[in-house]
Amino acid sequence: MRKSDASHFDFQNSVETGACEQAVNNVKLSTKLSTSATWIGLGGLATGLACIAILAFKSKASTDYSYIRDIAPIVEHRCAQCHSGSGLAAKPLLDSYATVSKYADTIRYMTRARMMPPWTADNRGTCRTWRDSLWLSDAELGKLVGWAEQGAPEGDRTLRADRRVPAEKPRDLERVDAVLDTGADYTPGLGTSAYRCFVADPGLTRERMLTGIRVVSTDPRAVAHIAIYGLDSDDAERQAVGRDTEEAGPGYTCYGSPRVEPAHLLASWTWDNPTLHFPEGTGLRVSPNRKWIVQVLYNVITTGLNTQTRTHIDLKFDDGVRAASFMALRASGIALPPGKNYAEASARFRADAPMTVLGIAPRMHGLGKTMQVDRMRKDGDECAASFDHWNVYGQRLFIYQEPLHLSAGDELRATCIYNTKTAGETVHGGDNITDEACEANLYVVSP
Ligand code: HEC
């Protein structure tokens, strides 16, 4: 980035982010923003987009962008790991001026809407920040949007960009201590058959602390999200095995939960990174001689129908780490009116002892739009997480860069917003595909 760009964007940040936050907080847009010529036409779009549009507007006025200098480095650093021949999203291929410029308008739209790169947790800093985030910086976003608006020029081919940084390779699992195998090929379809629960045995003979997982699939593009559950009783195991044998084919139908009790969440993973490392120095205690459930959400959009996939999960254990657990903020009695652009559910959680929240795994179903977690304070609520462009394919454990400390008596609230336009009747909370959920699973250690 050139020096002038840097100071330009810093300036924008300090001025515009403040205004945007204000607007987000008030929900209504401030007069200053709503009269801005840039996005009068964007009336219905979320405030966040509008704020970004201002950045783009200002940047357009002062900078000429080119693919060679400005865009290629961003695409290589932030998009190529997925949008290349061997990546998760080979379509669209984003690997040259020809391919990227062809998609310039879609890229402008999708990056501005924060739909690409896929990362549903707001990382602006106003609702905390997240480890390994794929979130674009305002400067990167300004360049992508500004370039598209200028007609996606290639620039001078004899010039190279100042600095080209390939995508960081995610840290791999250091070793494999056990393998959790779903045991068979599965051919996912649409609707409920896009979800499947498999009973799998990690083969543990003593108690261990789970500190990391790596998901390995014969077709990695097909597996979008995985939730792993530990079963907590002989009866739960019998129920799970029963469901598996009752249904034809490998595994059994499930959607919002493993459909057996008692069970508890062990991991929430999505395909943006094969490996999930739990927060440094912590792990989840797992019992010997117990089966687990692997719930897989398949994405047939990228693979097409009739693609067979088999998944196994490599597990890493470490002794001597702090024991963490998932605590759920879960809305009960959800009843969302049908046909609405905006329907809301919320859940509260009161810490009965001091605790440290190291991460959050949010969960809603297909009608979910946004989820915000606030710490409720006498002097005003404080945003603890904002998942403001929900995507069921992007569900994962988001890990804080800085932990959130709760004192005894502190309260958290999760507010979930849905769009029920497509629903014909009241949407209730539940495990079926037509039901909804509002759940923030906190990864906590004490204190
Ligand atoms: C972690 C993987 C990943 C990264 C990183 C990523 N994408 Fe994507 N992208 C996908 C997947 C998967 C799809 C297709 C499915 C979907 O739309 O969710 C996709 C789809 C797209 C589409 C097609 C949308 C359409 O409807 O045709 C565009 C354009 C796009 N991405 C642009 C980008 C850009 C630009 C970047 C970098 C700034 C980027 N993506 C980074 C995974 C990724």
Residue-wise over 401-440: b if at least 16 C-beta within 10 A, else e?
eebbebeeebebbbbbbbbbeebeeebebeeeeebbbbbb
How would residue 90 be classed by pLDDT, with cut points 50, 70 and 90? confident
How would residue 14 be classed by pLDDT, with cut points 50, 70 and 90? very low
pLDDT of 160 reads 64
CATH of the domain at 383: 2.60.120.230
Q: Decide: 89 in ligand 1 pocket, CB within 6 A.
A: yes
pLDDT of 189 reads 87
pLDDT of 347 reads 97
Give residue-wise pLDDT tens across range 235-294: 999 999 999 999 999 999 999 899 999 999 999 999 999 999 999 999 999 999 999 999
pLDDT of 170 reads 85
237 and 287 belong to one structural domain = yes
Average pLDDT over residues 295-308: 87
| Ligand 1 atom nearest residue 271's Cα | 1
Q: Decide: 117 in ligand 1 pocket, CB within 6 A.
A: yes
Give the chain's radius of gyration (CA, Å).
Answer: 23
Q: Decide: 79 in ligand 1 pocket, CB within 6 A.
A: yes
How would residue 9 be classed by pLDDT, with cut points 50, 70 and 90? very low
Q: Decide: 92 in ligand 1 pocket, CB within 6 A.
A: yes
Query: By alpha-carbon position, which residue is closest to atom 15 of ligand 1?
Result: 302
What's the CA-to-centroid distance between 83 and ligand 1, angstroms? 7
Q: Which of 432, 209, 198, 426 is nearest to 316 (CA)?
A: 209
What's the CA-to-centroid distance between 61 and ligand 1, angstroms? 28
Q: Decide: 239 in ligand 1 pocket, CB within 6 A.
A: no
Q: For residues 120 and 135, what is the distance between their CA atoms, to the nearest angstrom?
A: 9
* pLDDT at 326 exceeding the cut of 50: yes
Q: Decide: 374 in ligand 1 pocket, CB within 6 A.
A: no
Query: By alpha-carbon position, which residue is closest to atom 36 of ligand 1?
Result: 79
How would residue 15 be classed by pLDDT, with cut points 50, 70 and 90? very low
Q: Could you give the number of structural domains in the chain?
A: 3
pLDDT of 43 reads 32
Which of the residue ranges 24-33, 230-239, 335-344 would you say has the lowest mean pLDDT? Answer: 24-33
128 and 236 belong to one structural domain = no
How would residue 44 be classed by pLDDT, with cut points 50, 70 and 90? very low
49 and 96 belong to one structural domain = yes
226 and 361 belong to one structural domain = no
* pLDDT at 437 exceeding the cut of 90: yes
What's the CA-to-centroid distance between 409 and ligand 1, angstroms? 42
Q: Which helix (H) or strand (E) holds 414?
A: strand 411-418
Q: Decide: 81 in ligand 1 pocket, CB within 6 A.
A: yes
Q: For residues 314 and 275, what is the distance between their CA atoms, to the nearest angstrom?
A: 9
Tokens standing for 305?
């129908």
Average pLDDT over residues 331-343: 97
Beta-carbon contacts of residue 184 (< 8 Å; ≥ 6 apart):
250, 251, 310
Residue 84 included in any domain = yes
Give residue-wise pLDDT tens across range 135-176: 999 999 999 999 999 999 999 887 765 566 677 788 999 999
Q: What is the DSSP secondary structure assignment for residue 73, as one 8-state letter? A: H
- Dihedral sign of CA atoms 430, 432, 438, 442 in order: positive
CATH of the domain at 184: 2.60.120.310
Q: Is 49 or 33 the better-scoring residue by pLDDT?
A: 49
Q: Decide: 115 in ligand 1 pocket, CB within 6 A.
A: no
How would residue 53 be classed by pLDDT, with cut points 50, 70 and 90? very low
Query: By alpha-carbon position, which residue is closest to atom 37 of ligand 1?
Result: 79
The domain in which residue 36 lies consists of 3-149
* pLDDT at 208 exceeding the cut of 60: yes
Final residue belonging to a domain, choices 128, 149, 170:
149
Ligand 1 pocket: which of 74, 110, 390 to mutate (most atoms within 8 A of CB): 110
Averaged pLDDT score across all residues of the chain = 86
How would residue 60 be classed by pLDDT, with cut points 50, 70 and 90? very low
What's the CA-to-centroid distance between 18 and ligand 1, angstroms? 29
332 and 206 belong to one structural domain = no
* pLDDT at 188 exceeding the cut of 60: yes
Percent of the chain with pLDDT over 70: 85
Residue 170 included in any domain = no
What's the CA-to-centroid distance between 25 and ligand 1, angstroms? 29
Residue 171 included in any domain = no
Residue with the two structure tokens 């001091």? 354
Q: Is 4 or 202 the better-scoring residue by pLDDT?
A: 202
Residue 162 included in any domain = no
| Ligand 1 atom nearest residue 87's Cα | 2
| Ligand 1 atom nearest residue 391's Cα | 18
